């Protein structure tokens, strides 16, 4: 069993797509073991994306991530990290596989509807960034 962090980003929450995206996640057999809707502060978004601090898109990404509420959750399952990345599709929806969340719902390379951890180390950091052990209930 593996756990990964999912974020339904502001572009998707604001278009009322949280339910549709959660349905895709659950239909794929990933189990939600923690979930909440939150409004990130600038410092919280910067801390979450600190690994991208030097990238040219960092400031715009942070502004986007604080533009409205997000739905953060922890997903559990065998190989959950890779399975969720595959379900999400490529970062740029223009190149994402048919049937993926980003192909169906994303607007562009920045407003791409979902985040998913990319490795066990980032999953451990990201799940504990948003949730305490007591909030992981599944």
Q: Does 4 bind ligand ADP (CB under 6 A)?
A: no
Q: Is 115 a catalytic residue?
A: yes
What's the burial of 79, exposed, middle or buried (CB within 10 Å: 0-12/13-18/19+)? exposed
Q: Does 91 bind ligand ADP (CB under 6 A)?
A: yes
Q: Does 76 bind ligand ADP (CB under 6 A)?
A: no
Q: Does 5 bind ligand ADP (CB under 6 A)?
A: no
Alpha carbons within 13 A on the beta-carbon side of 86: 8
By C-beta, is 57 or 129 nearer to ligand ADP? Answer: 57
Choosing among ligand ADP, Mg ion, none, which partner's interface includes residue 76 (Cβ < 5 to 8 Å by kind)? none
Choose the binding region for ligand ADP from 16-24, 34-42, 105-113, 125-133 (rule: CB under 6 A): 105-113
- Give the span between the Cα atoms of 15 and 17, in whole angstroms: 6
Q: How far is CA 62 from CA 16, 43, 82, 87, 138, in A?
A: 21, 9, 25, 24, 30
* Binding positions for Mg ion, rule: CB under 5 A: 118
């Amino acid at each position: 069993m593996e756990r990964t962090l999912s974020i339904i980003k502001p572009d998707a929450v604001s278009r009322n797509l949280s339910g549709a995206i959660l349905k895709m996640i659950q239909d794929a057999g990933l189990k939600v073991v923690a979930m909440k809707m939150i409004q990130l502060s600038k410092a919280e978004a910067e801390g979450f994306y600190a690994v991208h601090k030097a990238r040219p898109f960092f400031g715009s990404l942070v502004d986007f991530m604080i533009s409205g509420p997000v739905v953060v959750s922890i997903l559990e399952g065998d190989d959950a990290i890779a399975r969720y990345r595959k379900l999400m599709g490529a970062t740029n929806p223009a190149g994402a596989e048919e049937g993926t969340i980003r192909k169906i719902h994303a607007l562009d390379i920045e407003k791409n509807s979902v985040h998913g951890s990319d490795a066990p180390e980032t999953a451990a950091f990201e799940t504990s960034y948003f949730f305490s052990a007591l909030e992981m209930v599944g």
